[in-house]
Structure 1
Amino acid sequence: MPSIPSTYEPLHIVTPLIYSAPLSQHSGHNVFLKLETKQISGSFKARGIGRACWAAAHRIGPNAHLVVASGGNAGLAAALCSQKLGVKCTVFVHKKTQPPIIERMKGYGAEVNVSDSGWETVDRLARECVAADPNAHYVHPFVGEDVVRGHVSIVDEIYDQLEGAMREAGLENPTDRPDVVSSAVGGGGFIRGIMTGLGERAAADGRRPTHVVGVSAMGGDPWGLSLETDHDYVDGANTSLAVSLNCIMCSTLAIDAARQYARTGSVEGATPETHGSTAGKDAPYLSSVRADDAQCGAAAWQATDELGQPIELSTGAAVVPVYHPQVLEHMIKEKGLPEKLKVIVVVCGGSRVDEKDIEVFREKYGKGYGQVVVDGAVVVDA
């Protein structure tokens, strides 16, 4: 049985940051892709889930029993990280989780329980499992300080890699500093980690905070709807096909942090009393984007063609802003960004896609249709 390290040793891998010539040419900006698709578990989840798994196993010891409720990606990460730590893992999933994903979890040694109901049920069952076992710990998919701190690691990697990626692409004035980071948003834990890391970097180097773009898919977008308004939005519909992003309600801590980051470029001081939308020049450091499934699906198949590996519709959401130059131009105008941007798109990864899905996206969505909304303003209506 592997020993549990007394200090945290990352359970994720360092992923590549590559320059995208096609997206740069299309958008008019320098676009780089951070390939979380290369994580062994298939998605960014290994960062936050990995640190949370280690923290629990370190506290409880080798008899730790890690329990997670998941639609797929968090469960895969928890199963893999538990295997690396040598501790027991139980994953509760719902009926929409594809059999190949379940088999991968089992292959990592996890016990998998499938419910006929949705997230609320699997979350309840996971908590009941923890309550019945004194050695068990619930690893939440997107809430918790260890989860957030694990996700900060992607910011460190971007800073380590950007200058080299710019030099390799032959770009002038290489720097370690991105102007924009775009990520898809579901529950909010990942983007909270991104904001935390970028805020810490801005405080350390004294330069303008990096602009954060959080993209959600319409029909499953409490993130975007919350930030367009002054309250935490509950979305009971979940009609989007971007299943990995669908949640009834985002982490309220992530929403509070976003409202604070939008105005100050830091998450420090964020409280439930942090109010206001992210629209306008008084919130210059963050934009919320909501896109129709057709826009996300179109971005997904086009990114698949460039990268040579299937990209989830949920992951395609993060790429939407660079497929529509007017989206970035809107941010430049409204948020006071530089005219020529260095944009990092986090290709979040995920397991809910195969080649057949990509062909459906290509045939059904083409180059995209429907709306793209930025901070409440309709910028694309195709």
Structure 2
Amino acid sequence: MSGANWYYKTPLFKQNLRSKSSAEVPQIFIKYENLQPGGSFKSRGVGNLISVKSRNGLNKSHVLSSSGGNAGLAAAVASKQMNLPCTVVVPTSTKQRMVRKISDNGAKVVIRGSHWKEADDYLKENYMKKFQEDGTSNPIYVHPFEDPKIWEGHSTMIYEIMNILQEQNIPVDNVRGIVCSVGGGGLFNGIIRGLEDCGLAHKIPVIAVETHGCDVLNASLEAGRPVTLDKITSLATSLGSSYIPQSVFDNAARYGAKSIVLNDKSVIETCLKYADDFGQIVEPACGASIHVGYHPELLENCLGTFSKEDVIVIIACGGSAATFDDLTDASKRFSAA
């Protein structure tokens, strides 16, 4: 683990995601955030937020999360590591194995509401408000993606990437882009923060990948302003935010982020292929970014042609919600359709 102890310094490996006969242009490097203690990149940002906000009231701090997904699990895992009580309110749509994982890490799980917003409202009204009024605990609210301390934590992966490339004598100028999946934009903002700190935000573009049915960043960029989706229809539920913060839109516009939108069927096929190639199960949200590595023509559409020295870094953001059966069932449904 890192010195901070709530996240790992994850490996960055060069991978050939195409057939043996294809030329490795560009070189694809994968940052394995699926190896984090909470199973996803969210361990970095959520752990950082909890650590910072608990310093002034460690003995009374109580972590509160309203996510039934990877953010809720990351909050539970980080809280356990810091010996802090944690309550996670999840909507009724949360899968039972995620409820079990959160509970197994010592958090109290409360099931309320049909979707995240209702669970979040219940959390704020029944826990945040109570703790603030009676003073029994210092409530630490963990938003899944909209907090500068979250972005600060995520930015650490950029420092690791640059250090590893330097150790391998790969010039920073060879990095043509960083690929990441985008839901609410917490990971995206964290990457931008790290690139800014390294003086690279205007030099290395971020390629933001979404799926049809939750492509709020793409819709916002096309509209020239942040928009809100009426509903989420994609299977990539970890990308299922109906809005992005203004800061995400501003960063995407300021630094010329590239946008790629994929269909669910292609992403599911990539998840199964990746499982066959590397023996790892990834959520569709993570598979969306990996899909781009299997299909470099998508990168060429964004960035132009490549040379054999060029490098693309893909963030395997991870996630604990999907199983192999989930992926195969989804694939069967698409085949039947």
TM > 0.5: yes
Q: How far has the Cα of 1:28 moved from its partner?
A: 2.7
- The corresponding residue for 1:287 is 258
Q: How far has the Cα of 1:122 moved from its partner?
A: 1.0
- The corresponding residue for 2:74 is 77
- The corresponding residue for 1:15 is 10
SS in 2 for 1:22: coil
Q: How far has the Cα of 1:346 moved from its partner?
A: 0.7
Which deviates more, 90-99 or 317-326? 317-326
Give the distance between the partners of 2:27 and 2:333, measured in 1 at CA. Answer: 29
Question: Which of 310, 322, 326 is the equivalent residue of 1:353?
Answer: 322
In the TM superposition, 1:66-145 aligns within 5 A as 66-128=63-125, 129-134=127-132, 135-145=138-148
- The corresponding residue for 2:56 is 59
Q: Deviations over 1:134-158 (max 9, x none)?
A: 3212111101111110000010111
SS in 1 for 2:198: helix
Q: How far has the Cα of 1:176 moved from its partner?
A: 4.8
Give the distance between the partners of 2:87 and 2:98, measured in 1 at CA. Answer: 14
Give the distance between the partners of 1:154 and 1:68, measured in 2 at CA. Answer: 23
Q: How far has the Cα of 1:358 moved from its partner?
A: 3.0
Against the structure 1 CA distance between its residues 123 and 60, is the aligned structure 2 distance closer, same or farther, given a 3 Å change threshold? same
- The corresponding residue for 1:374 is none
In the TM superposition, 1:1-382 aligns within 5 A as 9-23=4-18, 25=22, 28-128=25-125, 129-134=127-132, 135-164=138-167, 167=168, 174-176=170-172, 178-202=175-199, 209-262=203-256, 286-333=257-304, 339-340=307-308, 341-363=310-332
Q: How far has the Cα of 1:246 moved from its partner?
A: 0.5
Unaligned runs of 5+ in 1: 1-7, 168-172, 263-285, 370-382
Q: How far has the Cα of 1:306 moved from its partner?
A: 2.4
Task: Please tell me the residue identity of whatever aligns with 1:290.
Answer: V
Against the structure 1 CA distance between its residues 152 and 143, is the aligned structure 2 distance closer, same or farther, given a 3 Å change threshold? same
SS in 2 for 1:18: strand
Contact in 1 for aligned 2:47/2:75 (Cα 8 Å): yes
Which deviates more, 75-84 or 57-66? 57-66
Task: Please tell me the residue identity of whatever aligns with 1:132.
Answer: K
Residues matched between the structures, number = 324
Q: How far has the Cα of 1:183 moved from its partner?
A: 0.5
TM-score, normalised via structure 2 length = 0.90
Task: Please tell me the residue identity of whatever aligns with 2:326.
Answer: D
- The corresponding residue for 1:272 is none
Cα RMSD, aligned residues only:
2.2
Contact in 2 for aligned 1:76/1:104 (Cα 8 Å): yes
Task: Please tell me the residue identity of whatever aligns with 1:50.
Answer: G
Q: How far has the Cα of 1:68 moved from its partner?
A: 0.8
Against the structure 1 CA distance between its residues 33 and 363, is the aligned structure 2 distance closer, same or farther, given a 3 Å change threshold? farther
Give the distance between the partners of 1:160 and 1:360, measured in 2 at CA. Answer: 40
Give the distance between the partners of 1:305 and 1:46, measured in 2 at CA. Answer: 26
Q: How far has the Cα of 1:220 moved from its partner?
A: 1.1
Give the distance between the partners of 1:99 and 1:26, measured in 2 at CA. Answer: 43
SS in 2 for 1:34: strand
Give the distance between the partners of 1:16 and 1:10, measured in 2 at CA. Answer: 16
Against the structure 1 CA distance between its residues 79 and 26, is the aligned structure 2 distance closer, same or farther, given a 3 Å change threshold? farther
Percent identical pairs in the alignment equals 29
Task: Please tell me the residue identity of whatever aligns with 1:242.
Answer: A
TM-score, normalised via structure 1 length = 0.79
Which deviates more, 177-186 or 73-82? 177-186
Give the distance between the partners of 1:28 and 1:81, measured in 2 at CA. Answer: 39
Greater relative contact order (CA < 8 Å, ≥ 6 in sequence)? 2
